[in-house]
Amino acid sequence: MQLTPEVKAQLAEQKKDCVFCKIIKKEIPAKIVFEDPATLAVLDIYPATKGHTLYLLKEHYPIMPYLPVEDFHHLFGLLPQLTKAIKSAMVSVALNIFIANGGAAGQQYPHFLIHLMPRDEGDNFFPLLFNKKNKPLAQDKLQQIQSTLQQIMQNYFLSSPQFWHNSSGTIPSHLTSLAKTSTVLYEDEKVLCLLPTSNLIEGHIELYSKTEPYYFEKLSQTDAIHFFTVASFVASLQFQILQCQGTNLIIKSGITDDNKSGTLCLNILPRTQNDSLQSLHWEPKQPTYKLEDIEAKIKDKTWNIKYKIESPKEPPKPEPKKSSPFATLSSAQPSSSKALSVEDEIAKAIEKAQRI
């Protein structure tokens, strides 16, 4: 997103009172469990689960669409390593990743951050126990999301070629039945994005990894960045097409009471003020154990975490058009070799869709 002088001034004002900006500047003490030049991870002082960690960029951005590409890649590229370290320190079998964009989605502070919550079977943590129903999305909205998402992804690959991409890929065995029973919105070699038949709310979209069935921490840096890149496009489309006021991105990974199969799934939920999903928001509670002990355990596992800047590789030659999932959307042309932010990609795709 291009920040106008007015938005920049608002952000500067927000930063002055931001608790997390003060933690980053070490003006407020916190249990810091990981730090590198661009990011910081601290223990939540009101943990939802034991080892609940908040992971954030040092630069102040209020919500995900504001993140510049480099910061987005750094933050989400490191996430599998951080997840692995926290799970290992807490000896947990599962972990939830929870993101709230906007007050309607339960965002508490204006500094964008990611909740990492280690989980175990029988841990009595119920807010993410999804009570799924069937609330179908209107056909015109579905088609609009499907065609715009495919257009966005086509533009994205043209402006940011990825060495691994030249087709829609194949469905791996762990996703075969899901792909058959749901409406596929988008797929490539690494992800499958679909509208599930049973959902939490109208417009609930699920994203699955084609490369890893169960554990988020097993995703490579490239795969994690791509997973969240697609998710952030979907979330922005929910804002624009479904006119929601906020979005939640919730990853379930590993076996818990609310994820019996253990399948790795990123749930992208459109939210409105006082909607039917208020039970997703947990109550803050004081820990019944010493945070210092948890801090020491996690720090012991995070010292060697490092973000590797990837050098761009030559893209493979595209396959013949008949095998392309975007055969009907072939009008898109590369307009820039520079990676664009989520908002810019979406604006470009919507503008193009209006011209067709």
**Residues interacting with Zn ion, by CB under 5 A?**
18, 20-21, 60, 111
Closest CB 112 distance from Zn ion, rounded Å: 8
**Least gap, CB of 245 to Zn ion (angstroms):** 21
Cα angle at 240 between 74 and 80, to 5 degrees? 25
Considering the complex, what minimum distance in angstroms separates the CB of residue 262 from Zn ion?
35
Residue nearest to Zn ion (CB): 18
Looking at residue 256, the DSSP 8-state letter turns out to be B
Give CB contacts under 8 A, 24+ apart, made by 162-166: 162/222, 162/226, 162/315, 163/312, 163/313, 163/314, 163/315, 163/316, 164/189, 164/190, 164/222, 164/316, 165/189, 165/315, 165/316, 166/315, 166/316, 166/317, 166/318, 166/319
Nearer to Zn ion, 18 or 244 (CB): 18
CB-nearer residue toward Zn ion: 21 or 346 = 21
Q: Choose between 15 and 174: whose C-beta lies nearer to Zn ion.
A: 15
Q: How far is the CB of 30 from Zn ion (least distance, A)?
A: 13
Rg over CA atoms, the chain? 20
Question: Closest distance between Zn ion and the C-beta of residue 206, in Å?
Answer: 31
Q: Which is nearer to Zn ion, 25 or 133 (CB)?
A: 25
Task: Pick between residue 60 and residue 210 the one whose CB is nearest to Zn ion.
Answer: 60
- Cβ proximity of 30 and 93 under 8 Å: no
Distance CA 322, CA 74 (A): 36
Name the minimum Å distance from CB 20 to Zn ion.
5
Tell me which residue has tokens 């339960």.
106
Minimum distance from residue 23 beta carbon to Zn ion (Å): 9
Residue closer to Zn ion by CB (options 111, 119) is 111
Nearer to Zn ion, 18 or 346 (CB): 18
Backbone angles phi, psi at 253, to 5 degrees: -150, 120
Which residues neighbour 310 within 8 Å (Cβ) at sequence distance 6 or greater? 221, 222
DSSP letters along 181-216, please?
Answer: HSEEEEE-SSEEEEE-SSBSSTT-EEEEESS-SS-G
- The smaller minimum CB distance to Zn ion, of residues 28 and 138, is found at 28
Reported as half-sphere exposure (CB side, CA atoms, 13 A), residue 275 has a value of: 20
Helix (H, G, I), strand (E, B) or coil at 297: helix
Q: How far is the CB of 100 from Zn ion (least distance, A)?
A: 15
Cα 125 versus chain centre, distance: 21
DSSP state at residue 125: -
